[in-house]
Amino acid sequence: MTDYFHLDMPREELLALSSLGLAHLGDSVFEVMVRSWLCLHGRARAGDLHRATVRYVAAPAQAEMTKTLLPLLTREEADVFRRGRNTAPHSIPKAASRGEYQAATALEALFGWLYLQGRTDRLNQLFEALMAGAERAENAEGGV
C-alpha cells in the first residue's frame, strides 16, 4: 500500500512530471501548511479561518512571499522554481497579474517537488521562513 503522507519518488520519475502537475500538488501542500499554521498559532477565529487562509494562499500573497524564498534555495530548488515560473498558465485569476500568478505557480511547483521526495524537513524550513517574512510585512503595514 502506498503511504501518501510519506513519499519518496525516484528522481527520474520526478523529472518527468510537468511543472503544472507539481504546482497542482504543491498548491494543496502549501494550503494544508497554511491551515495548520493558522490553527497552531491561533491566528484566526473559527469563522475567519477560510478568509485568513485565502489571504496567504492567493497568488499575490504567494508572489510576495517568493521574495523571501529565493535567497534560501539550493541550485536544484531554484531550477525547479524557475521551471515552474516559466510554465505557460492556461488562465490567470482576475485578482492576480500574470507575473504574480507565475511566481505563485513556481512556489507551488517547488512545494510539490519537495513533497513528492518526502523532504518534509526542507518544506517546513522554507515554510517557516515564508511565514516569518509574511508576518514581518504584515506588522510593518500595521496589520494583525
Distance CA 12, CA 68 (A): 29
Q: Which of 3, 8, 27, 79 does the annotation list as catalytic?
A: 27
Name residues whose C-beta falls within 8 Å of residue 78's C-beta, 6 or more positions apart in sequence: 70
Helical pair 98-116 and 120-140, crossing angle rounded to 10 deg: 150
Q: Is residue 7 within 8 Å of 115, Cβ to Cβ?
A: yes
Place of cell 512545494: 111
Q: Is 27 a catalytic residue?
A: yes
**Residues assigned a catalytic role:** 27
